Amino acid sequence: MVSVTHPPRRAVRPADASVLLAVRGVPSWGAVIIAAVLGIVGIIVDHAASSAAIGWGFGVCFTLGIALAVLAVRRGSIFTGMVQAPILMAILVFVSFKLLGGEGTIVSATKIVTNFPTMAIATGVGLLLGLVRIIAQPLRHGRSSTAAGPRLAARA
């Protein structure tokens, strides 16, 4: 009988872990791609459903993209996932109106301003999830309370 040995599983460093500690997270540029792809999907859905380039489909997909990006990014690169929503949304809205609408720059800027609630919600979701991850997944493990106990008892 042949014995098959598997290589030992290497633990993922806390700085490289996604929200799932056993899964390596994506780099910061991967978080931007995740959010951008889902935002583009939302724009395509909205444009196919009606001739409007930005609507509910974009809002939902963009917010989900930001949330997934914050959950999938490496713990050490979480800042990118948390703060990317305003810049990414401005770029997506501007490019979509240039490609799909062909309208002027002032009209594109107006569309960015009118979609502020979507950006604010997506930013809030990203910040909230990121803060929860920062608190729940510290990069360094502090001293355990059992290790500090005997030291304090010896001093007393």
> Which pLDDT tens digits describe the chain residue by residue (156 residues)?
666 665 555 677 877 777 887 888 899 999 999 999 999 999 999 888 876 667 888 999 999 999 999 999 988 888 998 999 999 999 998 888 878 766 666 767 788 888 899 999 999 999 999 999 889 877 765 544 444 444 444 444
Q: Which two tokens stand for residue 74?
A: 């490496």
Which residues contact residue 82 at a Cβ distance below 8 angstroms, ignoring those fewer than 6 apart? Answer: 70, 126, 127, 129, 130, 131
18 contacts 25 by C-beta, under 8 angstroms? yes
Q: Where are the domains of the chain?
A: 14-139
Q: Largest alpha-carbon pair distance within the chain? A: 76
pTM for this predicted structure: 0.78
